[in-house]
């Protein structure tokens, strides 16, 4: 026993001194990728750590997106912040406004003299995270966009062409009715993320503004305007379709109950993140799966425009030793290389962030039909002011408000106009508060 | 009461020190921070901070969501208390009447108390899950379309059941002890005078149980208001449409998810005042009447 303890103590000392001998600069990366994605992330980091001998990136999993962001903010207040933190897209407003707490990526790359070409990135991915001058503030890591998944087997049973997904909302309704009347499935469609997909992406897809000042990109004075005619028409229809049983609601936030309704073939179609592709494939055991773009209203001018992204980016926090920033710049260069991007995107279903990575994935897309739906959708047209993304403070709570008002609409206590008016009114109060906090 | 006299002036302080340190670090200091934050308006990172007086409190009283949260908390606390105490009393009376195997039943009934609130939440969430749960399937046969994701009432029923279920065990133990403290001779005398079981319960047992009932009332209200966070978090997350957003959950959501620290701190201060009030009631009023 004593000998064993001595041996293990010696081994410990040996490993400690080995680590010191290398004298690599350590830098922390806090992230929110659990499970298989987390394992893949660690593999990518290992690839970087092995590729050079100056820096050592240490990834640590901090829980969900909100938990990771909260942990980083608390750490910053305690002056124990990591060099790099992964923040989800709705936290962008908060991070951006925190001047003094963050180092914008374009500035980091400039300071460190890293070879960095902003034009190499996909505008519809990076545009979400740039300031009004087009400077990149954070490094996109995992971005996705919502697409339509449909059950080809049910389509066939209902006498529909299994290779033609609905293009417009009119077709969504028509196909759903056919499916329900034929008894092939008991509901037409469901959706994840009412906020992200049926409100924000819906607006971008129809080139309708979500807020003033280029959807909030212009500054803290921006306000929500998503109670326009396009959104009112769509929410009103969703309510009608819910009443008719064509559409089934899957719950707030990500809509946890939506995917099971699609997997069990209760609903024939689902709109969800392109990054859920792997999960959908794994669960679609008893039927054939098809992919399509999000439906649009053909009577709304400008539709379809392009869809917007969701997911998370990497932010660099200030107040760390200089050497760590040199490492962060090197690491970002590695992360955005076509090989790493193509590997990560093929594995996860997230979008590649550079043009080169997209081209490198051509082979993968050929072998996996439908896998490029998201990429085709965000690059369908050059993003406009209405389809670049959105940026508002306190947006995590505003997403909650969108869910709540949608639930009020479904419960029949408000009509579509009333519900969306409340979203705007309540959301703007939070935005005003955020503006006051940050001025 | 026994009084101990210490020769050394320092010794009593030394003996108290660990407890005082814990109280200071885990209670007084955070409470002080909460009070300070409740008067500030600050961005998430704490870079820009300004004193705003009572603006955070005024904002709360003007906010329909906060008033809704107060109402929801009241409905929730009363429902949980009535349900957990009612069922516990029923079970306690039943066990009290048993001659054999009362101990076995007591042991079995205490089990749920050992279940962590988050686990209890998940358990009931599964049972009532509209897609895969057992209960919605059963209820559909009866003709009720259960869906706690879209129905506010269903959501409230779910969190009340999940929270009350756990607390039944605790109440049950106290009621059993209370019942056993009532002299059998009193009930026998009433029986000889011709009072039926129902009359005996309401005229003899229930009044004599009142100290226990009062005590449990306070404990259960405190439980429902402050210790059910995990149940809410694991089942409804305050939804749908804020229907189950009790005050404690709102503090967490606004502060941790929403990063609105000023408002969240003001809400904790209000909660602190409520706790103080409940504690005073318990010590001043209830404690005197309870016979252990």
CB atoms within 10 A of CB A177: 15
8 A C-beta contact, residue B122 and residue B238? no
Cα A256 versus chain centre, distance: 16
Binary contact (A260, B132; C-beta < 8 A): yes
Among the partner residues A77, A408, A433, nearest to B46 by beta-carbon distance: A77
Q: Residue A270's pLDDT is what?
A: 97
8 A C-beta contact, residue A61 and residue A33? yes
- Domain tally, chain A: 2
Q: Which of A79-93, A325-339, B227-241 has the lowest mean pLDDT?
A: B227-241
- Residue that wins the pLDDT comparison between A161 and B8: A161
Question: Given pLDDT bands bounded at 50, 70 and 90, which one contains residue B292?
Answer: very low
- Residue that wins the pLDDT comparison between A139 and B132: A139
State phi, psi for B227 to the nearest 5 degrees. -110, 10
Do both A356 and A275 map to the same domain?
no
Query: What's the average model confidence in pLDDT over B156-161?
Result: 92
Structure tokens at A408: 């009020």
In a domain, B21, yes or no: no
What residues of chain B have any CB closer than 8 angstroms to a CB in chain A? 41-48, 59, 65, 129-132, 149-152, 237, 239-242, 253-254, 256-260, 262-263
Which of A400, A410, A427, A431 would best serve as a mutation to test chain B binding (most B beta carbons within 10 A)? A400
In a domain, A86, yes or no: yes
Task: Give the relative orientation of helices B117-128 and B152-181 as an angle to the nearest 10 degrees.
Answer: 130
Among the partner residues A97, A408, A426, nearest to B43 by beta-carbon distance: A97
Among chain A residues, CA nearest to B151: A411
* CA distances from residue A78 to A71, A75, A82, A95 in whole angstroms, order as listed: 10, 5, 11, 17
Query: What's the average model confidence in pLDDT over A8-19?
Result: 50
Among chain A residues, CA nearest to B243: A404
In a domain, A381, yes or no: no
Which of B30, B33, B43 would best serve as a mutation to test chain A binding (most A beta carbons within 10 A)? B43
Among the partner residues B48, B237, B242, nearest to A438 by beta-carbon distance: B48
Q: Across all residues in chain A, what is the average pLDDT?
A: 89
* pLDDT, tens digit (0-9, with 9 covering 90-100), for A158-193: 999 999 999 999 999 999 999 999 999 999 999 999
Do both A78 and A136 map to the same domain?
yes
Q: Is the pLDDT of residue A110 over 80?
A: yes
* pLDDT, tens digit (0-9, with 9 covering 90-100), for A378-417: 989 988 999 989 999 888 889 989 998 999 899 888 999 9
In a domain, A372, yes or no: no
In a domain, B51, yes or no: no
Residue B201, min C-alpha distance to chain A (Å): 44
Do both A139 and A154 map to the same domain?
no
In a domain, A58, yes or no: yes
B-chain residues within 8 Å CB-CB of A77?
Answer: 45-46
In a domain, B11, yes or no: no
Query: What's the average model confidence in pLDDT over A68-83?
Result: 91
Do both A314 and A262 map to the same domain?
no
**Using the 8-state DSSP alphabet, how is residue A91 labeled?**
G
Q: Which of B1-10, B119-128, B256-265 has the lowest mean pLDDT?
A: B1-10
In a domain, B241, yes or no: yes
**Residue count (chain A):** 439
Q: What is the CATH number of the domain that holds A207?
A: 3.40.190.10
Q: Residue A21's pLDDT is what?
A: 46
Question: Contacts for B202-205 with beta carbons within 8 Å, 24 or more apart?
Answer: B205/B93, B205/B179
Beta strands in A67-196 (DSSP E): 84-88, 102-103, 139-144, 146-151, 187-191
Among chain A residues, CA nearest to B254: A397
* pLDDT, tens digit (0-9, with 9 covering 90-100), for B46-74: 888 888 889 899 989 988 889 999 999 99
**Using the 8-state DSSP alphabet, how is residue A128 labeled?**
G
* pLDDT, tens digit (0-9, with 9 covering 90-100), for A349-377: 898 888 899 888 988 988 888 889 999 99
Q: Is the pLDDT of residue B183 over 90?
A: no
Binary contact (A98, B44; C-beta < 8 A): yes
Among the partner residues A94, A407, A438, nearest to B150 by beta-carbon distance: A407
Q: Which among A343, A368, A373 is positioned nearest to A46, based on CA atoms?
A: A343
Binary contact (A410, B150; C-beta < 8 A): yes
Query: What's the average model confidence in pLDDT over B146-150?
Result: 81
**Using the 8-state DSSP alphabet, how is residue A192 labeled?**
S
Residue A140, min C-alpha distance to chain B (Å): 22
Binary contact (A73, B257; C-beta < 8 A): no
Question: Given pLDDT bands bounded at 50, 70 and 90, which one contains residue A7?
Answer: low
- Residue that wins the pLDDT comparison between B282 and A335: A335
Q: Residue A186's pLDDT is what?
A: 93
Task: For residue B145, give its domain range.
Answer: 63-289
Q: Residue B289's pLDDT is what?
A: 58
Please give the share of chain B, as a percent, with pLDDT higher than 70.
Answer: 96
Binary contact (A394, B131; C-beta < 8 A): no
Binary contact (A252, B149; C-beta < 8 A): yes
Do both A172 and A216 map to the same domain?
yes
Query: What's the average model confidence in pLDDT over B229-250?
Result: 87
Do both A412 and A273 map to the same domain?
yes
ipTM of the shown complex: 0.70
Binary contact (A407, B254; C-beta < 8 A): no
First to last CA, chain B: 17
Residue located via tokens 């090989």: A339
Specify the DSSP element, H or E, that contains A2: helix A2-22
In a domain, B30, yes or no: no
In a domain, B285, yes or no: yes
Q: Which residues pair with A310 in a beta bridge?
A: A144
- Residue that wins the pLDDT comparison between A404 and A116: A404
Binary contact (B44, A397; C-beta < 8 A): no
Please state the pTM of the whole predicted model.
0.80
Binary contact (A439, B48; C-beta < 8 A): yes
Q: Which of A138-142, A160-164, A243-247, A312-316 has the lowest mean pLDDT?
A: A138-142
Binary contact (A73, B47; C-beta < 8 A): no
Q: What is the CATH number of the domain that holds B279?
A: 1.10.3720.10
Do both A302 and A313 map to the same domain?
no
8 A C-beta contact, residue B76 and residue B245? no
Q: Residue A191's pLDDT is what?
A: 96
Task: Give the relative orientation of helices B55-62 and B261-281 as an angle to the nearest 10 degrees.
Answer: 80
In a domain, B194, yes or no: yes
In a domain, B17, yes or no: no
Do both A170 and A250 map to the same domain?
yes
Task: For residue A190, give its domain range.
Answer: 146-307+392-437
Q: Is the pLDDT of residue A47 over 90?
A: yes
Among chain A residues, CA nearest to B49: A437
Do both A68 and A133 map to the same domain?
yes
Of A77-81, A290-294, B195-199, highest mean pLDDT: A290-294
Do both A258 and A346 map to the same domain?
no
Do both A194 and A161 map to the same domain?
yes
* pLDDT, tens digit (0-9, with 9 covering 90-100), for A217-233: 888 899 999 999 999 99
In a domain, A227, yes or no: yes
A-chain residues within 8 Å CB-CB of B132?
Answer: 260
Binary contact (A249, B149; C-beta < 8 A): yes
Do both A191 and A112 map to the same domain?
no
């Amino acid at each position: 026993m004593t000998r064993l303890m001595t041996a293990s103590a010696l081994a410990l000392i040996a490993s400690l001194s080995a680590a010191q001998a290398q004298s690599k600069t350590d830098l922390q990366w806090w992230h929110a990728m659990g499970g298989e994605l987390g394992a893949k992330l660690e593999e990518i980091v290992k690839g970087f750590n092995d590729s050079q001998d100056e820096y050592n990136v240490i990834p640590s999993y901090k829980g969900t997106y909100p938990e990771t962001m909260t942990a980083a903010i608390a750490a910053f207040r305690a002056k124990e912040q990591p060099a790099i933190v992964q923040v989800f897209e709705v936290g962008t407003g908060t991070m951006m406004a925190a001047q003094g707490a963050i180092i914008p990526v374009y500035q980091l790359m400039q300071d460190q003299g890293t070879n960095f070409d902003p034009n190499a990135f996909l505008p519809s991915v990076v545009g979400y995270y740039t300031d009004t001058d087009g400077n990149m503030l954070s490094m996109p890591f995992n971005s996705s966009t919502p697409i339509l998944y449909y059950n080809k087997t049910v389509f066939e049973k209902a006498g529909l062409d299994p290779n033609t997904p609905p293009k417009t909302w009119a077709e969504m309704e028509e196909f759903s009715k056919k499916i329900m009347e034929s008894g092939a499935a008991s509901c037409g469609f469901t959706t994840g993320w009412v906020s992200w997909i049926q409100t924000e992406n819906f607006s971008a897809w129809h080139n309708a503004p979500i807020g003033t000042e280029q959807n909030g990109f212009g500054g803290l004075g921006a306000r929500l305007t998503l109670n326009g005619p396009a959104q009112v028409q769509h929410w009103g229809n969703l309510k009608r379709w819910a009443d008719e049983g064509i559409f089934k609601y899957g719950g707030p936030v990500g809509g946890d109950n939506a995917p099971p309704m699609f997997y069990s073939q209760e609903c024939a179609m689902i709109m969800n993140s392109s990054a859920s592709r792997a999960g959908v494939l794994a669960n679609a055991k008893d039927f054939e799966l098809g992919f399509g773009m999000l439906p649009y209203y053909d009577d709304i001018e400008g539709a379809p425009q392009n869809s917007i992204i969701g997911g998370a980016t990497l932010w660099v926090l200030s107040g760390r030793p200089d050497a760590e920033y040199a490492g962060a710049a090197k690491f970002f260069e590695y992360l955005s290389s076509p090989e790493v991007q193509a590997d990560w995107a093929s594995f996860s279903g997230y979008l590649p962030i550079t043009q080169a990575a997209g081209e490198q994935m051509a082979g993968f897309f050929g072998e996996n039909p439908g896998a490029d739906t998201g990429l085709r959708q965000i690059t369908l047209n050059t993003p406009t002011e209405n389809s670049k993304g959105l940026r508002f403070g306190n947006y995590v709570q505003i997403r909650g408000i969108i869910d709540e008002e949608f639930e009020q609409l479904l419960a029949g206590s408000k009509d579509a106009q009333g519900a969306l008016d409340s979203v705007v009114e309540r959301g703007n109060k939070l935005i005003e508060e955020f503006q006051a906090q940050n001025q | 009461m026994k009084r101990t006299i210490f020769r050394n002036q320092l010794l009593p302080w030394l003996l108290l020190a660990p407890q005082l340190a814990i109280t200071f670090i885990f209670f007084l200091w955070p409470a002080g921070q909460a009070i300070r934050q409740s008067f500030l308006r600050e961005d998430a990172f704490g870079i820009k901070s300004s004193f705003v007086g009572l603006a955070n409190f005024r904002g709360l009283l003007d906010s329909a969501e906060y008033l809704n949260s107060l109402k929801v908390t009241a409905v929730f606390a009363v429902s949980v208390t009535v349900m957990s105490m009612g069922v516990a009393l029923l079970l306690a009376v039943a066990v009290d009447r048993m001659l054999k195997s009362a101990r076995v039943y007591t042991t079995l009934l205490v089990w749920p108390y050992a279940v962590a609130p988050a686990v209890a939440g998940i358990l009931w969430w599964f049972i009532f899950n509209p897609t895969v749960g057992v209960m919605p399937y059963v209820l559909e046969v009866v003709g009720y379309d259960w869906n706690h994701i879209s129905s506010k009432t269903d959501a409230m029923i779910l969190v009340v059941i999940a929270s009350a279920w756990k607390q039944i065990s605790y109440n049950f133990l106290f009621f059993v002890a209370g019942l056993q403290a009532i002299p059998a001779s009193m009930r026998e005398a009433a029986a000889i005078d011709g009072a039926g079981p129902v009359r005996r319960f309401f005229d003899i047992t229930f009044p004599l149980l009142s100290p226990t009932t009062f005590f449990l009332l306070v404990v259960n209200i405190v439980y429902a208001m402050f210790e059910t966070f995990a149940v809410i978090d694991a089942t409804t997350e305050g939804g749908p449409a804020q229907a189950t957003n009790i005050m404690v959950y709102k503090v967490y959501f606004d502060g941790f998810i929403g990063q609105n620290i000023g408002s969240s701190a003001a809400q904790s201060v209000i909660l602190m005042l409520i706790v103080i009030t409940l504690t005073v009631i318990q010590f001043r009023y209830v404690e005197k009447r309870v016979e252990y």
